[in-house]
Chain A
């Protein structure tokens, strides 16, 4: 049988359903892998093999009685530790919440439980989803499986690391300025920020209310669509939840890109914020491949990247400081240095600047969505740089800000990071596909066609 560590969700679902693979056998294999390797990667903040084995035994019993719940039944997954799982602490990787045991599941955790998933534990994050890879917190930062000396992105750092390392085939992260797509890009996996409101944020510790999104990280596009099919949907208890949703992402995967109009936002990574040459080459090669597959690839332009980033950060830090103000007064010493500095950036933002940023947000989103009268999907960079060394704080600070993900937390539509090969040094490259709201199915279809034409998903890190 294939090495169980590299089974996709779709592959595992087939084997589990026809009882070629036992959920208990599968869970034990991944538990052993985590126990053997995670001491070097720190992807898990709280590893829960006892829960995983209980879930796996339940799945085995149900499947043996013909009660198959769907493609996640008996399949291991894990959650970023800002997402509530009843009975466990949600720490946000912070001393401030280290004993914060929660009573109820987040809506997304509840959906994955209901789907029969096997819960492996809580994953490392940057503190409160805004710090960086910090060494002054109660738990160490996650590392990149492709090179453990390198940054694995964030803030869903453990989600990227665990998925790439073969610890789980799927993980759930969150994204306020790019925090699903950054680790996806750095770790060579697939990560989506769905349309704002498509996935419930109930039970997810907030960073910035109007920018927070929940999304899956997986090793293949098909698996990502499967996970989004499971977790999307209206939640009347999330005030930002979309009243209607999109669905059927998996069903729409096939069919190719012939005739699709793909607009390349080239100025983001060539003039606004010039990317490293290997990053540019990777994007241009992907665009050429999509053209070779039959897409109509053309160049489009939007507002300068710096304007999007200024709007995103003004809104994000204002909302985050409002949330953290009391803790900053009472126990500032309990934050790590990176999170404290990033949150404090919102302390003296004027109300007029916050309001103007939200006014600009609407204007920029409207203008961006108008682009889609001439294209179906946009293509651009995710990160401008390759992963830097994790022990080089200046390089982390520099490269963290050099990204084209935050614009789409502003516009609210879906944005998907997918692998696009490797640098000469063996580190992952990525591209980002972007759509107008509720067009996740189009993004997945383009991404799937590209993924099928390359062999990136068959390469795995050795550590």
Chain B
């Protein structure tokens, strides 16, 4: 699904795959820019500091049904 450096053609195909079929060329250009921004953020996530037992901030808790 995700390309490391998507091209305009990649992004049109990726958008279609998730049902975003009504995007204009202008919208697709925005999606391309937004996806590149998101990829830059991904690269900035300091995941190397995580260990296996680091839990997500919001973990599931079973209710007692009361």
A residues apposed to B, CB below 8 Å: 210, 303, 306-307, 309-311, 313-314, 317, 325, 328-333, 337, 340-342, 344-350, 353, 355-363, 365
Contact = CB atoms under 8 A, between A and B. Distances in A.
Interface string B9-46: 00000110011111110110011011101100110111
B22 A362 contact: no
Contacts of B44: 306-307, 309-310
A356 B2 contact: no
Contact of A313 (B1, B14, B41): B41
A359 B1 CA distance: 23
20 contacts: A306-B44, A329-B19, A329-B20, A329-B22, A331-B22, A332-B22, A332-B24, A333-B24, A337-B26, A344-B30, A347-B34, A350-B2, A358-B57, A358-B58, A360-B45, A360-B49, A360-B54, A362-B57, A363-B49, A363-B54
Nearest to A310: B44
Given A332-B20, A347-B35, A348-B35, A341 B57 contact: no
Contacts of A310: 41-42, 44-45
A337 B20 CA distance: 16
Q: Which of B19, B34, B47, B49 has the most CB of A within 10 A?
A: B34
Interface residues of B, number: 33
A210 B34 contact: no
Contact of A347 (B15, B47, B56): B15
Given A210-B58, A329-B20, A356-B50, A345 B45 contact: no
A282 to B, nearest CB: 28
7 A-B pairs closest in CB distance: A310-B44, A358-B56, A345-B34, A361-B57, A341-B30, A362-B57, A344-B34
A377 B60 CA distance: 31
A363 B31 CA distance: 31
B40 to A, nearest CB: 8
Interface of B: 1-2, 14-15, 18-24, 26-27, 30-31, 33-35, 37-38, 41-42, 44-47, 49-50, 54-58
Given A347-B15, A356-B47, A337 B38 contact: no
A346 B33 CA distance: 12
Given A332-B24, A332-B27, 15 more contacts: A303-B46, A306-B44, A307-B45, A314-B38, A314-B45, A329-B20, A330-B22, A344-B35, A345-B34, A348-B1, A356-B45, A358-B56, A359-B55, A359-B56, A360-B45
Given A333-B24, A347-B34, A359 B46 contact: no
Contacts of A340: 27, 30
Nearest to A352: B47
A410 to B, nearest CB: 8
A353 B47 CA distance: 9
Nearest to A357: B45
Nearest to B24: A333
Contacts of B14: 348
Contact of A353 (B18, B24, B45): B45
A348 B54 CA distance: 24
A346 B2 CA distance: 12
Q: Which of B2, B22, B24, B57 has the most CB of A within 10 A?
A: B57
A71 B22 CA distance: 51
A341 B27 CA distance: 8
B15 to A, nearest CB: 7
A328 to B, nearest CB: 6
Contacts of A331: 22
Given A314-B38, A345-B38, A353-B42, A360 B58 contact: no
Nearest to A412: B57
Nearest to A354: B56
A350 B14 CA distance: 13
Nearest to A304: B46
B30 A359 contact: no
Given A314-B38, A332-B27, A348-B1, A355 B56 contact: yes
B60 to A, nearest CB: 12
B13 to A, nearest CB: 12
Nearest to B50: A359
B11 to A, nearest CB: 9
A349 B38 contact: yes
A87 to B, nearest CB: 33
Nearest to B18: A347
Contacts of A317: 38
